[in-house]
Structures are given as structure tokens and as C-alpha cells.
């Protein structure tokens, strides 16, 4: 298995950085074990909008808030352990029936997983663009070092 990414670690992006209990179970089954003290555990989700709040506890288990580059580092370590070939600074520029073109070289592949983000080119090349394009949205993220005031994300 080969992973080709146009960027190089540590790869970060704007994100809420909250993992649901099911995500943690999936990571566990992949051999990625996150210690309790590695992030911040939370019990559910709370949406806040002006004077309104809507919240719900997870029916089972807890979620985990963890900085994206930390999670990425763990994924890289486990993938390396499993023998995955990791190619950084290697943008994919084309796909066809036999594989992908990356940095001018053909990588032969039976299956191509296009985990290339919101504006996925693999999705476009595969003719899988949605019929209705969604409206443009903006997000900002900033980290603050302070004690949590809620057990909800
Ligand atoms: C504001 C915001 C908040 C979010 N908060 C959460 C959250 O709290 N919890 C949660 O679980 N999810 C959250 N998400 C969703 C989550 O970020 C995405 O579902 C997830 O990152 C998608 O994974 P991905 O690997 O497909 O894309 P990404 O994580 O975006 O990674 C795409 C990768 O593909 C590479 N790439 C792109 N094009 C190419 C190319 N042509 N060739 C080679 N490499 C390429 C990029 O360098 C990048 O490393 C949030 C999303 C947003 C926008």
C-alpha cells in the first residue's frame, strides 16, 4: 500500500479536533491506542447559538479532543509499522484505470482511495462531484491553553 501526499508532516488544518467514541474504537482496531492523558475526553456534543443550547451525551463511551498533528503522527507511526510506503511532497496529478500519476511517475494501483480533502480532485476526476455545489462557508480555529469549562464538545 502507498500513500502519496502533496504536503509533508506535520500536516495541520482547520478542524474541531474532536473524535467520536466510534472513531476511537476504529483507531483501536487499527492498532492505534490513545492514552487517557493524551487529549481531552468529552461526554457528548453541545451546539451553542446566541441564547440557545442543544446538547446530547454519547449513549456509550467518551470522545477525545486531540491536536490533529498529534493524531497524524500516530497514524504515520502505525502505517510505517504496517509496511505502508509513505510519499510526502508527492502531489497526485492524474488518475486512470491502472493507477495514479505522482511527481511524473506512474504508481500502479488496483484501488485508489481519494482522501484528498474537501475540494477532492480524485472525486472530480472520478466524475463523483455532487449535482448541487454547496454554498461557501468559512471556519477559523485557534488553540487556547485553559482549563475546560464543560465536558461537552
Ligand atoms: C472546520 C472543520 C472542522 C472539522 N472538525 C472535525 C472534528 O471535530 N472531528 C472530525 O472527525 N472531523 C472534523 N472535520 C472533518 C474532517 O476534517 C474531514 O472529514 C477529514 O479531514 C477528511 O479527511 P481527508 O483525509 O479526506 O482530507 P484531509 O484531512 O483534508 O487531508 C487531505 C490530504 O490530501 C492531500 N492532498 C490534497 N490534494 C492532493 C493531491 N492532488 N495529491 C496528493 N495529496 C493531496 C493534502 O495535502 C492533505 O494532506 C472538520 C472539518 C472542517 C472543515
In-domain check, residue 153: no
pLDDT tens track, the chain, 153 positions: 999 999 999 999 999 999 999 999 999 999 999 987 889 999 999 999 999 999 999 999 999 999 999 999 999 999 999 999 999 999 999 999 999 999 999 999 999 999 999 889 999 999 988 777 678 888 899 999 999 889 999
- What is the distance between the alpha carbons of residues 40 and 148, in angstroms, rounded to a whole number? 9
Q: Are residues 40 and 69 in the same domain?
A: yes
Other beta carbons within 10 Å of 30: 13
Asked whether residue 144 is domain-assigned, the answer is no
What is the separation of C-alpha 142 from the centre of its chain, rounded to a whole number of angstroms?
A: 18
80 and 117, same domain (yes or no): no
**Its pTM surpasses 0.85:** yes
Give the range of the structural domain holding residue 67, as residue numbers without chain letter.
32-87
Strands of the 18-19 sheet, one edge to the other: 18-19, 63-65, 40-42
Give domain status of residue 14, yes or no.
Answer: no
Domain assignment present for residue 18? The answer is no
Choose which residue among 5, 85, 141 to substitute to test ligand 1 binding: the one with the highest number of ligand atoms within 8 A of its C-beta: 5
Domain assignment of residue 147, yes or no? no
- Say yes or no: CB of residue 7 within 6 Å of ligand 1: yes
What is the residue-wise DSSP string for 75-118? HHHHHHHTT-EEE-S--EEEEETTEEEETTEEEE-S-------T
Same domain, 77 and 57: yes
C-alpha 124: how far from chain center: 20
The structural domain count of the chain equals: 2
Atom of ligand 1 nearest to the CA of 14: 1
Backbone angles phi, psi at 142, to 5 degrees: -145, 140
Amino acid at each position: 500500500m502507498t500513500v502519496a501526499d502533496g504536503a509533508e508532516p506535520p500536516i495541520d488544518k482547520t478542524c474541531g479536533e474532536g473524535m467520536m467514541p466510534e472513531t476511537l474504537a476504529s483507531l483501536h482496531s487499527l492498532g492505534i491506542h490513545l492514552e487517557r492523558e493524551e487529549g481531552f475526553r468529552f461526554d457528548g456534543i453541545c451546539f451553542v447559538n446566541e441564547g440557545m443550547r442543544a446538547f446530547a451525551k454519547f449513549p456509550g463511551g467518551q470522545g477525545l479532543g486531540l491536536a490533529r498533528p498529534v493524531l497524524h503522527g500516530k497514524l504515520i507511526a502505525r502505517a510505517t509499522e504496517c509496511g505502508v510506503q509513505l510519499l510526502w511532497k508527492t502531489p497526485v496529478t492524474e488518475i486512470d484505470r491502472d493507477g495514479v500519476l505522482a511527481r511524473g511517475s506512474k504508481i500502479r494501483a488496483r484501488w485508489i482511495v481519494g482522501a484528498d480533502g474537501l475540494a477532492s480532485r480524485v472525486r472530480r476526476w472520478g466524475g463523483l462531484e455532487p449535482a448541487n455545489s454547496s454554498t461557501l462557508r468559512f471556519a477559523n480555529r485557534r488553540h487556547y491553553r485553559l482549563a475546560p469549562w464543560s465536558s461537552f464538545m
